[in-house]
Chain A
Amino acid sequence: MQVTVTVNGKTESHDVEARMLLVYYLREVLGLTGTNVGCDTTSCGACTVLLNGESVKSCTMLAAQADGEEITTIEGMASSDGVLHPIQEAFREHHGLQCGFCTPGMVMAIASFLKEHPDPTEAEVREGLEGNLCRCTGYHNIVQAALAAARPGALAP
């Protein structure tokens, strides 16, 4: 079936199998492999992308369901001249990543979270990341990065 999606500002249109999940459409059809698959039960959040600006788990959505919608993936976060998005920069500044596999999903989850909670407490950040698992960082520095990104003036560690 034909699916037309705007991904990172660019309109894409492809004929895909009905059973193709959005995450595989992004990874295999569009070659946007920054979005990862870490589980098969909607638990880990590695596949988080923005659907019309809100975080969703792209492993639990058919590509067909995204027809006509706007998707932002991790590849769409940095500006085209290579400047990292403030959330990405905060992750770097605060050592919020180690192996980097959960990172794209974390960044996208935080992007959505900060829109809904522009001035969060630490407890709210932690609650807001309940759907994203990381095995390396112990979350401490991810939480610091999210708090820093919410207050760009305080980006320095």
Chain B
Amino acid sequence: MIPASFEYRRAGSVEQALGWLSEDPDSTKLLAGGHSLLPLMKLRLATPGVLVDVGRVPGLSYVRDAGDHVAVGALTRHRDVEISDVARAHVPLLAHVAGQVGDPQVRHRGTIGGSIAHGDPASDLPAAVLALDGVLVIDGPRGRREVGAGDFFRGFLETALAPDEMLTEIRVRKAPGGWAFQKFNRRAQDWAIVGVAAVVNGGARVALVNMGATTVRARGTEEALAAGAGIAEAAARAPEGLEPPSDLQGSAEYRRHLATVLVRRALEEATAAGG
């Protein structure tokens, strides 16, 4: 498939990209690794008039130890997050999940910023960032702002990013305790039917993949754990209040069931790992 025609501009800086975005934010799209956007353009489900390629904007590919958190540049490729010593040491969940995205070829091109900004509830990284209590750093014509992951994911393919803004950095809290990621799918290359990212460190934060219009926290589970419930009892409350999709890979009912099993397994694994 061949995308519809568009104008291609290569940005040399965040400022230049934002300048072009502001000219016509509604029909302009940012292109990083392209692994969320280009497939849609090939099927002509997305037909932007202008593509601003930010792939070569310098200084946005890094994984940095920033004291109480780890800062990841939005253009850092999944593969680079996966093998980053800093990520592995301080946020092993993030490194692990980056190694679970798509397939090796996708991980060589796709970026963490692109994945987060796409806001797909079936993607793995948003759940990891949510479980790690991440903060998204956004630059735009009105300056820089920071949005907590809990406020960033607004709806299906919808985030707190305005059309004229750009995600530039992902910050995730260091997580010294136990963690686990459970990804359930039928083929390794597929999106998760349901996924669970769990961080256990005194308390527990549990985020779910593909259990609603956005990545979501398993609030029922978290509350139960906070109230002293055991893992099995808490896991049974994982789907509380959630409205998972029904699709070819599983009904909503099945996803609710899976969530209870996978959350229990994730919590057991995270606890055993030192949580």
Most chain B beta carbons < 10 A, residue from A18, A43, A60, A109: A60
Closest to A40 in B: B1
Give the chain B neighbours of A131 by CB distance below 8 A.
102-106, 189
The answer, yes or no, to whether A80 is at the interface (CB within 8 Å) is no
Stretch at the interface among B5-13, B22-30, B128-136, B256-264: B5-13
The answer, yes or no, to whether B66 is at the interface (CB within 8 Å) is no
Contact flags A53-67 to B (C-beta < 8 A → 1, else 0): 011110111101101
Stretch at the interface among B31-39, B163-171, B199-207, B209-217: B31-39
- A42-79 contacts to B, CB under 8 A, are 42-43, 45, 48, 51, 54-57, 59-62, 64-65, 67
29 A-B contacts (beta carbon < 8 Å): A19-B2, A21-B38, A40-B39, A40-B43, A41-B42, A42-B39, A42-B106, A45-B105, A55-B104, A55-B108, A56-B105, A56-B108, A59-B42, A60-B38, A60-B106, A60-B109, A62-B53, A65-B53, A109-B104, A109-B105, A112-B105, A112-B108, A127-B188, A130-B103, A130-B104, A130-B188, A130-B189, A131-B102, A131-B103
Contact flags A2-42 to B (C-beta < 8 A → 1, else 0): 00000000000000011101001000000000000000111
The answer, yes or no, to whether A1 is at the interface (CB within 8 Å) is yes
Most chain B beta carbons < 10 A, residue from A42, A43, A45, A56: A42
Task: Summarize A's interface: helix, strand, loop or mixed.
Answer: mixed
Question: How near does chain A come to B172, taking the closest CB pair, in angstroms?
Answer: 24
Total interface residues on A, using CB and 8 Å?
33
Q: Is the CB of B34 within 8 A of A60?
A: yes
Known: A40-B42, A61-B38. 7 other contacts (CB 8 A): A19-B2, A41-B39, A54-B79, A60-B38, A61-B34, A61-B109, A65-B53
Question: How near does chain B come to A94, taking the closest CB pair, in angstroms?
Answer: 21
